[in-house]
Chains A and B, each alone.
Chain A
């Protein structure tokens, strides 16, 4: 016997997206609502699916490299870095230190750029419209450095398998130093707008609570995991490039064993500061030297090898599983996209909250649909 409802007071099912200003692309969230309270949710993805992993099987190793830039298109440099390193691991190639430090500098700049985009849009979703213009102003500086380095701003394809295609341009170090000096003050500026803002606190604290055990169970990584108080960073745990030679801290949230949206906000801000720290050390250690390792023009790894390589992308652990079959084409490339994995914890975080919090939670996971759908 079905439960009797008065005045037809059923649950309301609404679709948030795929065209919605706050779903960051083409995410579609089906929300079951009781009034404004979320009683259930389902993320429907695939609107941006391009079959990137399948494409890999029909391209040579080098040809596939630009495609990975189209996954997390706001952090193309780190995407490309992960793929190049995975193939280098497959080949057992050594990368010269100059190339390593250049990669680190650009990757950390990319992390800052990605976090800036996240901060601006997250604040915009919560109704604070000013920060997005400030963060885009600073992001523009980073994109200009990318543009000067490789000619592209967004889908950079900055690195090649084996090292770098371009050496650094004149004045690169000066520009990066200038940026890192300027940028710390800018973070303070964003913090003045938000960190102690009463409304910001109320909108983010105790919203989208994720317990550490749940985060680990869901294989959540990146700032979302660290926001829950778990000190896990691929850069520290499995150092790649020269991350073991620079000093930096892994910021975590305020609580023991759980984290909320505000924790993740603080973690990302602290991470930007740490990135500046890494950039400063890496710029100091840039020495002249070769920029390309011993990798041939034709990449043809022996058959039957399988490599998994993970890096800390701005969104979390970005892993590439590359399988070789003895030809110039990879047999299989499987990507572990942090956005996709982190998004799975959405329902857990959103249940019982209000519609306004759904927007905050989508923002705090920091998804890029290009990476979720691939």
Chain B
């Protein structure tokens, strides 16, 4: 039977790819839809309120209601808009965001990746940049002031932050010696050291640039609602607005997945080479059991019978799933997916966390952070990484490499901080205004 399956894959590679694409697309859409709900819930939790509570138990069906609402709304095209560009712009954004997932590896076997492109990283950088066109064109085609300002902002912002992000990725390339995302994770596996430990500075730069590229707080200037009403999508309504929304959240998932693959060891368990931590392998069923327990706890307190029984069913389902996952064969099989998902969600949570914590940068300050801090840091990191790798030679010891990289990163950070922080540009501006 196993041979039959292999035969099938060999005979119909396109069909298999299509099935995988459909599965990834559906799962991703679900994750994106529930990401919106999760964001609202986590924000509510941090802000001493409840969040959506009306649609379904604890607002669990809110994404479906939102989607339906947006589908049924009128699709308004403003007078004087460039109609074709206006219509196509959100599609560009969302297609670009979804396409990149073709090369993201969810696990070691070829079944868990749509295609392992040997220039996967280039593909990621290239296609994800295309999403900017959707934002720029959408804002421009609206024939309205606020969207135009929003799209101008995003053009400058995304182009500026693409550079440090790209250079941070090159640092990973140097360490891992490959452009294929699978190979990058495998390199982290064989060295037993995640790239995060070799490239802490690179990770920080990538993370900040990633937040900026997804237009998220504190870099959400293109859609700053208190300044530009809604920025580039002010004139959009109905499902085209939903497409922009989906594109934004998909890019969030995307950059989190990329950060996990590039820096956090992709599908690898934390400290996979440390045998003492093997008990972590049992985390998948344990976490499912914990979910079941929490859901059951809330079910008991829910006064609406229908919702109560729904939650009890969810709890029972999770418990049964935990039982299935606890089977030794299955537990090994789900390891990669579990760890990959857990790490992606941890980063996504951080995205929401920033939004609850930070005020928004101003346009010139954003450029300041990008050009005066991140680009010099990324350049310095690149040079330092190359030098350390050249100094260490082929196959260096793990610890030797780690400490050398750490020292190099620290040196780069200190030198850049001294050079850049020498004189802040605001001091002159204050002198001009106050005359003191």
Contact = CB atoms under 8 A, between A and B. Distances in A.
A127 B434 CA distance: 27
Contacts of B79: none
A133 interface: yes
Contacts of A36: 149, 153, 363
B372 interface: no
A307 interface: no
A202 interface: yes
Nearest to A198: B358
A211 B227 CA distance: 26
A243 B433 CA distance: 37
B189 to A, nearest CB: 37
Interface in A127-158: 127-130, 133-134, 137
B224 A356 contact: yes
Contact of B430 (A20, A127, A206, A356): A206
A124 B225 CA distance: 10
Contacts of A20: 229
A129 B43 contact: yes
A349 to B, nearest CB: 10
B355 A129 contact: yes
Contact of A199 (B226, B355, B361, B436): B361
A341 interface: no
A200 interface: yes
A359 B227 contact: yes
A40 interface: no
* Max count, chain A CB within 10 A of own CB: residue among B227, B228, B436: B227
B360 A14 contact: no
B226 A357 contact: no
B221 to A, nearest CB: 8
Contacts of B226: 21-22, 124-127, 359
Interface string A18-53: 001110000000000000100000000000000000
B218 interface: yes
B433 A21 contact: no
A203 B429 contact: no
B110 to A, nearest CB: 43
A354 interface: yes
Contacts of B224: 127, 356
B408 to A, nearest CB: 26
A203 B19 CA distance: 49
B364 A354 contact: yes
A128 B358 contact: yes
A193 interface: yes
A200 B359 contact: yes
Contacts, number: 99
Contacts of A352: 433
Question: Counting chain B CB atoms within 10 Å of each CB, which of A129, A130, A209, A352 scores highest?
Answer: A129
A14 B145 CA distance: 7
A356 B359 contact: no
Contact of B220 (A127, A130, A358): A127
B359 A123 contact: yes
B381 interface: no
A67 interface: no
B362 A356 contact: yes
A293 interface: no
Interface string B200-230: 0000000000000000011011001111110
B227 A356 contact: yes
Interface string B351-390: 0000111111111110000000000000000000000000
B46 interface: yes
A203 B362 contact: yes
B49 interface: yes
Contact of A355 (B227, B429, B433): B227
Q: How large is the interface on A (under 10, 10 to 19, 20 to 34, 35 or more residues)?
A: 35 or more
Nearest to A134: B48
A130 B356 contact: yes
B193 to A, nearest CB: 31
Contact of B360 (A12, A203, A358): A203
A354 B362 contact: yes
Contact of A129 (B48, B356, B363, B364): B356
Given A22-B226, A357-B362, A206 B429 contact: yes
B3 interface: no
A199 B426 contact: no
B358 A197 contact: yes
A133 B48 contact: yes
B146 interface: yes
Contacts of B145: 12, 14
Interface centre among B145, B358, B364, B426 (most CB of A within 10 A): B358
Contacts of A96: none
B142 to A, nearest CB: 14
Contacts of A199: 218, 358-361, 365
Contacts of A129: 43, 47, 217, 355-356
Contact of A356 (B48, B49, B363, B433): B363
A211 B105 CA distance: 59
B204 to A, nearest CB: 15
Contacts of B433: 206, 209, 352
Nearest to B49: A133
B46 A130 contact: yes
A257 interface: yes
Nearest to A137: B48
A193 B48 CA distance: 15
A12 B360 CA distance: 24
B227 A130 contact: no
Nearest to A19: B229
Contacts of A127: 217-218, 220, 224, 226, 358-361
A193 B426 CA distance: 23
Given A137-B48, A209-B433, A130 B357 contact: yes
A185 to B, nearest CB: 15
Q: Which 6 A-B pairs have the closest CB atoms?
A: A127-B360, A133-B47, A128-B359, A22-B226, A125-B226, A356-B362
26 contacts: A22-B227, A124-B226, A126-B226, A127-B360, A129-B217, A129-B356, A130-B357, A133-B48, A134-B47, A137-B48, A193-B357, A197-B359, A199-B358, A199-B361, A202-B362, A203-B361, A203-B362, A205-B426, A206-B426, A209-B430, A257-B434, A258-B436, A354-B362, A355-B228, A356-B227, A356-B360
Given A199-B218, A354-B362, 16 more contacts: A21-B225, A21-B226, A126-B226, A127-B217, A127-B359, A128-B358, A130-B46, A193-B357, A194-B359, A199-B359, A199-B361, A199-B365, A209-B433, A211-B434, A356-B227, A359-B226
Interface of A: 12, 14, 20-22, 36, 123-130, 133-134, 137, 193-194, 197, 199-200, 202-203, 205-206, 209, 211, 255, 257-258, 352, 354-359
